[in-house]
Structure 1
Amino acid sequence: MEAFLVSTGVVALAEIGDKTQLLAFILAAKFRRPWPIIAGILVATLVNHGFAGALGAWLTTLFEPQTLRWILGLSFIAMAVWILIPDKIDADESSLARYGVFGTTLIAFFLAEMGDKTQIATVALAAQYQAFFSVVVGTTLGMMIANVPAVLLGDRIAEKLPVRLVHVIAACIFATIGIMTLLGAGERFGF
């Protein structure tokens, strides 16, 4: 349960102001059809985070527990720093309209998530908790918590959300997880 809750919370916070949330705003404004957009986000996130979770689980087989602890701890601290850097959306990620609303959202979100903060976080969380299903479901739920309101409410909430404060809170959570990992909090998981 801890893996699910931490994964959900961390990704929901990390996603605020992220380029995929900006993409959700753009798609909602462009198409004005929220349900195919939401479905595209869900499918793209499940597939993307499924691959990321599998990679995280696989990494636990490659490294000794002590080495993995250092890799994960430093990765979480790096995520804390990275989350404080504002994202920008690439113009080509929102120009896929020829695939319809669902297809455009699916392709754009999948590509936007490649190497994104939340994908890297999913890899690290899956390796940290060794709970593939809980982490993937949690990170996917976190993405949906952040992006569904962006699709449904669009610009009405974008201007009222203290994005910088949310990023600082998420960075503090990532840093805390990283420090706790370095200090041995993951020993119950074998590293």
Structure 2
Amino acid sequence: MTPFLAVFAIAFGAILLVELPDKTLIATLVLSTKYRPRPVLVGVACAFAIQCVLAVTAGGLLHLLPHRILEAIVAVLFAVGAFMLFRESVSDEEDDIEDETPAAVSLSNRRIFGISFGVLFAAEWGDASQLATAGLVARYGQPIAIGLGAFLALVGVAVLAVLAGKAILRKVPLELVHRIAAGLFAVFAIVAGVAAIRG
């Protein structure tokens, strides 16, 4: 069995790489420039916590399957994630989150929390990070290490967006990071596919 810290590091690194150029950073950046950062971060973190629990649960259920079927499903999950990331890297379109948030900045903390939670909770459904989290749990069978690594990576991206998001968006070539993440997912898919074939 792979050690807890190694699995945690794999999950943290994979999710961080996937989410740095993703809509998570952009959505949090937009929300934090319109509203007070603290309730934005709390709302975003709560949305991530629920999404991680759901992904870890799905991965845990997959882990109960026979080994060959499990590896085949993990390969498909990572292949879909690689395809999604590669497609984003060649797309020139950017998600416009601004239309989803009201222009008023004098809202209560509770209202800002609700808006931030809703935007990020909706944005993360079926996202590459959710697929990766489920796939890693199914592969390694360590839900706590992977859930914690994924959650901290997501929150780390949100904190980066609040603190230095504009600078990151200017300096990091999003297409390159998407392609690196897609390549990482493709490697995970190949490893799982080979394991499924070997049985």
- The bucket for the TM-score relative to the shorter chain is 0.7 to 0.9
Where structure 2 has 5 or more consecutive residues not aligned to the other structure, the ranges are 89-93
For the 8 Å contact 2:44–2:116, the answer to whether it is kept is: yes
Residues 1:108 and 2:119 are matched in the alignment:
yes
TM-score, structure 2 normalization: 0.83
Match for 2:53 among 50, 54, 59?
50
Match for 1:30 among 16, 31, 34?
34
Q: CA deviation at 1:23?
A: 0.7
- Deviation per CA, 1:147-187: give whole Å up to 9, x if none: 211112232321111211111111111111111122229x9
For the 8 Å contact 2:7–2:142, the answer to whether it is kept is: yes
- Moved >6 Å (runs of 4+): none
RMSD: 2.2
Match for 1:94 among 94, 101, 108?
101
Structure 2 distance, partners of 1:131, 1:93, is: 36
Alignment length, in residue pairs?
185
Gap change, CA 1:75 and 1:21, over 3 Å in 2: same
Structure 1 distance, partners of 2:148, 2:139, is: 15
For the 8 Å contact 2:25–2:165, the answer to whether it is kept is: no
Gap change, CA 1:149 and 1:90, over 3 Å in 2: closer
Residues 1:74 and 2:76 are matched in the alignment:
yes
The alignment partner of 1:154 has SS state of helix
Identity %: 31
Structure 1 distance, partners of 2:193, 2:131, is: 18
Where structure 1 has 5 or more consecutive residues not aligned to the other structure, the ranges are none
Match for 2:23 among 19, 23, 30?
19
- Which residue of the partner structure matches residue 183 of structure 2? 172
Gap change, CA 1:115 and 1:181, over 3 Å in 2: same
- Which residue of the partner structure matches residue 3 of structure 1? 7
For the 8 Å contact 1:19–1:89, the answer to whether it is kept is: no
Gap change, CA 1:43 and 1:149, over 3 Å in 2: same
Counterpart of 1:27, as a letter, is L
Q: CA deviation at 1:5?
A: 1.0
TM-score, structure 1 normalization: 0.86
Structure 2 distance, partners of 1:112, 1:150, is: 16
Structure 2 distance, partners of 1:104, 1:76, is: 31
- Which residue of the partner structure matches residue 39 of structure 1? 42
- Which residue of the partner structure matches residue 133 of structure 1? 144
Gap change, CA 1:108 and 1:124, over 3 Å in 2: same
Counterpart of 2:6, as a letter, is E
